[in-house]
Structure 1
Amino acid sequence: MPSVNRRYAATELRFKRPPAARGDESRAPVVLMVSGGADSTALVVLAATSPLDIDDGRGAQRIMRERLHILHVNHQLRGIDAEEDEEFVRQLASRFGMPCTVHRADVRALAEEAARRTGSSDDANVENVGREVRYEAARKLANDLCDQLGAPRSAARIVTAHTADDRAETFFMNAIRGTGPAGLSSIPRRRNRIVRPLLDYTHEELCDLLRMRGIIWREDVTNKDTHYLRAYVRHEVMPVVRKRNARVAGSIATTCDILSDEDAYMNQVASKTYRELIRRSSDSMVALDARRLAACEVAIARRVVRKAIVDICPDARLEARHIARALELVAADHGSASIPLGADVRVEYGLLFIRAHGSSRRELALWLEVPGRVALPDGRALSARLVSLPAGASAPDVARAHALEFKGSSVLLDAEACGLSRSQGGRLWVDAAAPGDVMCPLGMHGQSKKLSDVLNEAKVPAADRPGVPIVRLDATGPVAWVAGIRPDERVRCASDTKLLLELGIIDG
């Protein structure tokens, strides 16, 4: 039995998971990620011969041999040693009767490419890129096997050989870099389909298990290179800590479990708050209620901002100082900042806007046939049609009632004043506001006003103004309607209006 307690006592009071459904789920693949080192070799042995808990609701049970599949990723970093690792894993798989897939990737070249793209150190990227390559290969293999077997992808498991020592090392690595509760939670027991059933074992226990069974393993000499942070922590930090506490891996494991549980709860609260604060959103932008965000507890506000940025820019190089800067802008109720490889953050009109870098809009310039409908670059649509005034009705009264009913998303204008007729129809030009544009807003009795001032009064952020459709009588003509905001006085319905132009802006 492993010496590291899986959970501190309080967690034994948790609700038990309901048993997982059988059927096709029982055929779902279990992909073992095997490097050939002692830990992953022990994972193969235990998966083939002993009960393992792969977090599928069944607890620790023997895994059906036909579900097991070994994946080895050759990073091509160590020449002949890497080739020998690959051959060792193939032989290990054959010994235990498991199919084996080998994925080859030039991790050094990929790291250099990432370094050029991000401006970071090649060496610092090698570990990160290697990790990404391994997990991407595992995800693809699990998906392919599920499709072949007719099993749901969610039921597949990707199993790694992380131990209690790995967890303690990651704890210190993240502390050295600087992190929050999520980083100090270190390696989770499960993340989606990825499970780590050996977190209760130490590395030495797994080595002892292999020695007792007469099974050799491969040693990676780069694990001793303290140029890499993990090797530095393993060979320089952990020995010093163990002098004070020989069971430090178990102590840190308990700490990580506590932090992980509390972090999960805080994330639930933050996710609920995030949904409540969203005022606008798209694939490349989210706007949050800045004033309500400012009133949140700072622990929740940090997580809300982090979630918003990650949702818009999953690859952002996000650091604690970026979150702090965003919250400073929220507190000041104005200002902007930028996040490397991520987003622009701006506070305007009581909203916190987070936009992905490079989320430029297509140019807004098109004809709107009357009657007709056109799609806009942001996914909405503009529509136009001609409507006869009902007998005995007052055109101004009908237009006012229409504007109230549709709350500005649709208007009725004088068709003849717009140069349109029932017999010939016509077309209108739609583009974005340009410097120097003016209009005569409805209700100002013919007084002109800069279009920029109209948009400012409507509290449209500067970054969003190129996406506001401006409907004009022709390509160089006067404004008829600032879509969704205000029509022009010169094309309003008058007492002698007979033919109405209905314009509307709707979600696509």
Structure 2
Amino acid sequence: MPSVARRYGSGDAAGPFERPSRSTDDALRAPVVLMVSGGADSTALLVLAATSALDIEDGRGRAHIARERLHVLHVNHRLRGIDADEDEEFVRDLAARYGIPCTIRRVDVAALAAASPDGNVENAGREVRYSEATRLANELSAQLGTPRSAARILTAHTANDRAETFVMNAIRGTGASGLSSIPRRRNRVVRPLLDRTHDELCEFLRMRGIVWREDDTNADTRYLRAYVRHEVMPVLERRNPRVVASLSTTCDILSDEDAYLTAVAARTLRDLTRRTGEGALALDAARLSACEVAIARRVVRAAILEVCPDARLEARHIAQVLTLVAAGAGSASIPMGAEARVEYGLLFLRARAPKAHDFAGWLEVPGELPLGDPRPGRTSAHLSARLLPAPDGADIPALALSHGREWAGTSVLLDASACGIDASMGGRLWVDSPHPGDVLCPLGMHGQSKKVSDLLNEARIPAAERPLVPVVRTSPTGPVVWVAGIRADERARCTSRTSHLLELSLRTA
């Protein structure tokens, strides 16, 4: 987010004899990938990058880019037959004319779109272009030995593109982020031509005697952008000839304000987070409901995307979650597998509903049992068991109590014999999820029985998480020994007569 000093130019420049830092040196050597389609705007981008000063957001302001840093990328979408091949050849020749290396990537965008949920060719093409640009920037960074973050990917978006996107998003319905339209910079992607119009760039090319390629599909008003460009913008320009510049200024204002609110929402999300887990997040629902609605919307959106980056969010989904928060109870499903539930004063957000019984199996004593099927990026958990001789002269019940407190219930000491484990030969215990009707005698309740479901309810374990609580039994149909991390059974407790201790531990890694 730019400060007032940075945006409006106040502040002192570095001294003339100041030694450049390592990060400055990296910025001056890092690759600059030019995304060039062959149209007028991207052709102008290539020419300007090779011959003029551009601000690529590397801290130098408007400056010439060293030729050896430049690299052209052209993605052939294979949508327009021979015309697409001629675009490719045009870009290759233009890059060679200015002595800039050129990489061509050919992708069957139609096939990708057909396989995508929305079938949108434009979206598929855009995703492919940015994906290929990112891949190329990473490859070049590795070759040059510069940090990936120092690389730049330049696109040829203009003030016209920005105004059109503003109108398109307004037609669809959006918030401040959508109305901010195309940002000047997002991470490594920089758009140095946003202050120039398409007509200005065409005139620049004519003055240089440089031709460009025309894409006939840009005139097809069945596409929303083409409709806005050819049908809507001319009407607005008749009313205000400077509408493109006006909308660009509006986008800058909205972008700055959106960045500020996003930062506030990020801090609020951190403050409200009470629990985190693999694909799950719990927020303080009462404090969230007390937030200003503008911040609450952003917090919910950011939280959902944190647990489920592929969630397809719309304003109605955010409103639905906030309705649950205001009511203090209820649940809702969000497209692409995200779930929201309010209970126990918390808003629980999850990427998917957990599966019951996906870790059922025998726990050898001594031994270890993985809980579930660990996958890349997931936190793995396991149960372990071992046998220990009771220390001579020790107060065994007090030792077991102290151990449980030290490990906050994630590890317990039980009487091995009471759990059916032979001290000399070992044995095994059965582990699975809670069953309907499960009963135990919770440790400390002096033999009184309680349903496992009631125990989990009192421990405030959300309903969606209960199938993931491991229950240790003497056999698949035997009595419960330990509801892992919650409570052990009174009948398996250590006594002064205990000769061997069974240590059961629940660990995550």
Query: What TM-score comes out, normalization by structure 1 length?
Result: 0.92
For residue 315 of structure 1, give the secondary structure of its aligned residue in structure 2: coil
Following superposition of structure 1 onto structure 2, how do residues 83-94 of structure 1 map, counting pairs within 5 Å?
A: 83-94=85-96
After superposition, the C-alpha distances for 1:425-447 in whole angstroms (9 at most, x for unaligned) are 22222111112211111233323
> Please, which moves more after superposition, 61-70 or 277-286?
277-286
Specify the code of the residue in structure 1 equivalent to 2:502. Answer: L
Structure 1 Cα separation of the partners of residues 59 and 471 of structure 2: 57
1:336 aligned residue (331, 335, 344): 331
> Please, which moves more after superposition, 372-381 or 467-476?
372-381
After superposition, the C-alpha distances for 1:272-319 in whole angstroms (9 at most, x for unaligned) are 221222233234222222222222221111111111111222222110
- Is contact 2:340–2:349 with CA below 8 Å preserved after alignment? yes
Alpha carbons of structure 1 residues 486 and 454: separation in structure 2 relative to 1, 3 Å: same
- Is contact 1:53–1:197 with CA below 8 Å preserved after alignment? yes
Alpha carbons of structure 1 residues 294 and 13: separation in structure 2 relative to 1, 3 Å: farther
Structure 1 Cα separation of the partners of residues 5 and 207 of structure 2: 32
> Please, which moves more after superposition, 191-200 or 494-503?
494-503
- Is contact 1:29–1:145 with CA below 8 Å preserved after alignment? yes
For residue 162 of structure 1, give the secondary structure of its aligned residue in structure 2: coil
1:113 alignment counterpart:
115
1:256 alignment counterpart:
251
- Is contact 1:317–1:342 with CA below 8 Å preserved after alignment? no
- Is contact 1:445–1:489 with CA below 8 Å preserved after alignment? yes
2:154 maps to 1:145: no
For residue 345 of structure 1, give the secondary structure of its aligned residue in structure 2: strand
Specify the code of the residue in structure 2 equivalent to 1:502. Answer: E
> Please, which moves more after superposition, 201-210 or 148-157?
148-157
Specify the code of the residue in structure 1 equivalent to 2:367. Answer: G
Offset of 1:247 from its aligned partner?
A: 1.3
2:342 alignment counterpart:
347
- Is contact 1:284–1:359 with CA below 8 Å preserved after alignment? no
Structure 2 Cα separation of the partners of residues 8 and 300 of structure 1: 23
1:490 alignment counterpart:
491
- Is contact 1:33–1:158 with CA below 8 Å preserved after alignment? yes
Alpha carbons of structure 1 residues 484 and 173: separation in structure 2 relative to 1, 3 Å: same
1:406 alignment counterpart:
407
1:104 alignment counterpart:
106
2:282 maps to 1:296: no
Alpha carbons of structure 1 residues 7 and 267: separation in structure 2 relative to 1, 3 Å: closer
1:3 alignment counterpart:
none
- Is contact 1:17–1:57 with CA below 8 Å preserved after alignment? no
- Is contact 2:355–2:467 with CA below 8 Å preserved after alignment? no
Alpha carbons of structure 1 residues 312 and 450: separation in structure 2 relative to 1, 3 Å: same
Alpha carbons of structure 1 residues 286 and 56: separation in structure 2 relative to 1, 3 Å: same
For residue 71 of structure 2, give the secondary structure of its aligned residue in structure 1: strand
Alpha carbons of structure 1 residues 14 and 506: separation in structure 2 relative to 1, 3 Å: farther
1:444 alignment counterpart:
445
Offset of 1:354 from its aligned partner?
A: 1.6
2:430 alignment counterpart:
429
- Is contact 1:367–1:428 with CA below 8 Å preserved after alignment? yes
Offset of 1:321 from its aligned partner?
A: 0.4
Alpha carbons of structure 1 residues 80 and 208: separation in structure 2 relative to 1, 3 Å: same
Offset of 1:217 from its aligned partner?
A: 1.1
- Is contact 2:27–2:58 with CA below 8 Å preserved after alignment? no
Q: Which 5+ residue runs of structure 1 have no aligned equivalent?
A: 1-5
Alpha carbons of structure 1 residues 362 and 60: separation in structure 2 relative to 1, 3 Å: farther
After superposition, the C-alpha distances for 1:440-482 in whole angstroms (9 at most, x for unaligned) are 1123332322211111111111211121111112232111111
For residue 161 of structure 2, give the secondary structure of its aligned residue in structure 1: helix
Offset of 1:57 from its aligned partner?
A: 0.8
Following superposition of structure 1 onto structure 2, how do residues 353-364 of structure 1 map, counting pairs within 5 Å?
A: 353-357=348-352, 360=355, 363-364=358-359
2:200 aligned residue (205, 213, 220): 205
Structure 2 Cα separation of the partners of residues 398 and 315 of structure 1: 48
Structure 2 Cα separation of the partners of residues 402 and 14 of structure 1: 61
Offset of 1:7 from its aligned partner?
A: 12
Structure 2 Cα separation of the partners of residues 250 and 308 of structure 1: 35
Q: Which 5+ residue runs of structure 2 have no aligned equivalent?
A: 15-19, 373-378
1:235 alignment counterpart:
230
- Is contact 2:283–2:347 with CA below 8 Å preserved after alignment? yes
After superposition, the C-alpha distances for 1:201-236 in whole angstroms (9 at most, x for unaligned) are 011111111111111111111111111111111111
Aligned length: 496
Structure 2 Cα separation of the partners of residues 16 and 333 of structure 1: 53
Specify the code of the residue in structure 2 equivalent to 1:418. Answer: C
Structure 1 Cα separation of the partners of residues 368 and 388 of structure 2: 15
1:277 aligned residue (249, 272, 279): 272
1:155 alignment counterpart:
150
Alpha carbons of structure 1 residues 366 and 65: separation in structure 2 relative to 1, 3 Å: same
> Please, which moves more after superposition, 369-378 or 147-156?
369-378
2:189 maps to 1:194: yes
Offset of 1:333 from its aligned partner?
A: 1.5
Alpha carbons of structure 1 residues 366 and 187: separation in structure 2 relative to 1, 3 Å: same
- Is contact 1:7–1:257 with CA below 8 Å preserved after alignment? no
2:8 maps to 1:12: yes
Offset of 1:360 from its aligned partner?
A: 4.1
1:397 alignment counterpart:
398
Specify the code of the residue in structure 2 equivalent to 1:490. Answer: R
Following superposition of structure 1 onto structure 2, how do residues 450-469 of structure 1 map, counting pairs within 5 Å?
A: 450-469=451-470
Structure 1 Cα separation of the partners of residues 279 and 5 of structure 2: 44
1:318 alignment counterpart:
313
Specify the code of the residue in structure 2 equivalent to 1:31. Answer: V
- Is contact 1:284–1:356 with CA below 8 Å preserved after alignment? yes
For residue 218 of structure 1, give the secondary structure of its aligned residue in structure 2: coil
Specify the code of the residue in structure 1 equivalent to 2:505. Answer: G
> Please, which moves more after superposition, 353-362 or 370-379?
353-362
2:210 maps to 1:219: no
For residue 336 of structure 2, give the secondary structure of its aligned residue in structure 1: coil
- Is contact 2:434–2:469 with CA below 8 Å preserved after alignment? yes
For residue 270 of structure 1, give the secondary structure of its aligned residue in structure 2: helix
Q: How big is the alpha-carbon RMSD for the aligned residues of Structure 1 and Structure 2? A: 2.3
2:84 aligned residue (82, 89, 95): 82
Alpha carbons of structure 1 residues 31 and 301: separation in structure 2 relative to 1, 3 Å: same
For residue 346 of structure 1, give the secondary structure of its aligned residue in structure 2: strand
Alpha carbons of structure 1 residues 373 and 15: separation in structure 2 relative to 1, 3 Å: farther
Offset of 1:9 from its aligned partner?
A: 10
Offset of 1:493 from its aligned partner?
A: 2.1
Specify the code of the residue in structure 2 equivalent to 1:86. Answer: E
- Is contact 1:285–1:353 with CA below 8 Å preserved after alignment? yes
Structure 2 Cα separation of the partners of residues 493 and 240 of structure 1: 84
For residue 341 of structure 1, give the secondary structure of its aligned residue in structure 2: helix
- Is contact 2:382–2:508 with CA below 8 Å preserved after alignment? yes
Offset of 1:150 from its aligned partner?
A: 2.0
Structure 2 Cα separation of the partners of residues 51 and 174 of structure 1: 32
- Is contact 1:385–1:501 with CA below 8 Å preserved after alignment? yes
Structure 1 Cα separation of the partners of residues 242 and 85 of structure 2: 36
